[in-house]
Amino acid sequence: MKEQDKTPDDRRGFVMALGGAIATAFAAIGSIILPGSAAASLLDDEDENDSEKVGVKVQYGMVIDVRRCIGCHACTVACKSEFDVPPGVNRSWVEYTEKGQYPNVGRSFLPRLCNHCSEPLCVDVCPTNATYRREQDGIIAVDHGVCIACKYCMHACPYDARFLDPVNEWVDKCDFCIHRVSKGLAPSCVNTCVGGARIFGNLADPDSAVSMLIASNRVSVLRSEMGTFPNVYYIDADFTDEVDRRRPEVREVRVITHRRHKERT
């Protein structure tokens, strides 16, 4: 949560979330420290000393450098093909925001995925513990065998990152490509990102690329007021939504989600 403190434009969200954060702090710390070097192989860091570190913390996370995003949807399709995601639902997608009045206009891109929150509301509400936070790396995963498709988690998620798989009839979402990450590969969306906007790594390691990007840039997270402590950080993101159209200085906003659900959440 150190990273969260550093986020300059995020104080309000932090204060609101403080209560919940303290309440679960013990649990969080307990789960994030691994006793041995089991996690070392999962680390993205090349440092030779890593394998000798004891008690390494792993919290996988992503930095999305929106300055580099060209809105090409390569990540969306990589994800579709990696998991054979059925039509109509997405684990990852790219939203566009169009703002302004002619001739002063702009369009920005917002790649989206599960935020793998440190305080996941979906885990809180799951009646069967099908959705859980992996102790070894902080990834929020779904155990499909235990999921009863009650959709509580879908309603609880402030990011609309979850969906009911229309083929398998279980709830699903991004899992940071556990099957790739555990084999030393980057998540599929990161691997294919044409602009190089998606950067993946261990947020618990202050020397990792993601941590250094967070430390050296103005970053933000989505809906920080929810107190979920996302592990997906954005550089230079524009979260303007259509509600902002009411602001006199914004006037024109159009959000294009590029998925079946047409509203930004």
Partner 1 sequence: MINRRNVLKLGATTAIGVPLLKTKKARAHQVEYEAGRDYAYLSGTERDPVATTCALCPSRCAAIAYKENDYVVKIEGNPASKRTMGKLCAKGQAGVNQIYDPDRILTPLKRKGKRGEGKWEKISWDTALEEITDRLKKMRDQGEPEKFMFHHGWISASADRLINKVFLPAYGTGTVASNSCLGQSARLTAHELTWGGYEDSWDFENTRYVLNFGSNVMEAHTNHVALSRRLSIAQVDRNVKMVTFDVRLSNTGSKSDVWIQIQPGTDCAVVLAMCHVIMSEELYRGAGEEFLAFCQVTPDPNASTAEKVRALKDHLASFTPEWAEGISGVPAKQIREITVEFANTRPACVISSRGVSAQHNGVQAERAIQMLAAITGNIDNPGGRCLGVLPEWHYPTGPEEKPAVRKLDILNGFEGESVLAAHDIGHQVFNMIKEGSAGRPEVYMWYNYNPVFSNGNSQRNIDILKDESLIPFTVAVTPFYDESAALADLILPDAMYLECFDFEDGISPDQIAEYAIRQPVVPPSGEARDFKDVCCELAERMEFPLGFDSAEAFVEQTCNLTPVTKKVGGFNAMTTLGVRSDQEAKPTFYSYKKLINEEQLNKEGIIFDEASGVFWNWQQAGVQSEQDAIKQGYRHSPDAHKGYVAQKIGDKVYSGFKPARTNKSGYFEIYSSTLIEKGLPALPVYTSIPEHKELKDNELILTTFRVNVQTLSRTQNCKWLDEIDVENDHGWINPKTAKALDLSDGDWVKLKTDLGEIKTHIIVTHNVVPGVIAISSHGGRWEYGRYASGKKAPYGIELQAPYDSLMWWENEKAHPNWVIDNVSEPISGQQRWMDTVVTVSKA
Sites of contact with partner 1 (CB under 8 A): 44-47, 65, 67-68, 70-74, 76-78, 80-84, 86-88, 98, 100-103, 105-108, 166-167, 177, 179-180, 183-186, 188, 190-201, 207-209, 212-213, 216, 252, 254, 256, 258-260
Nearer to partner 1, 21 or 181 (CB): 181
CB 127, min distance to partner 1, A: 24
Cβ(230)–Cβ(107) below 8 Å: no
Nearer to partner 1, 155 or 260 (CB): 260
Nearer to partner 1, 68 or 134 (CB): 68
CB 243, min distance to partner 1, A: 18
Question: 24 vs 30, 31, 155, 249, CA distance in Å?
Answer: 10, 11, 22, 40
Nearer to partner 1, 35 or 104 (CB): 104
CB 231, min distance to partner 1, A: 16
d(CA 113, CA 161): 6
Instruction: Provide the residue type at 120 as one letter.
Output: P
Burial class (CB in 10 A: 0-12, 13-18, 19+), 183: exposed
CB 94, min distance to partner 1, A: 8
Q: Which helix (H) or strand (E) holds 61?
A: strand 60-65
Q: How many CA atoms lie within 13 A of 53 on its CB side?
A: 19
Nearer to partner 1, 76 or 115 (CB): 76
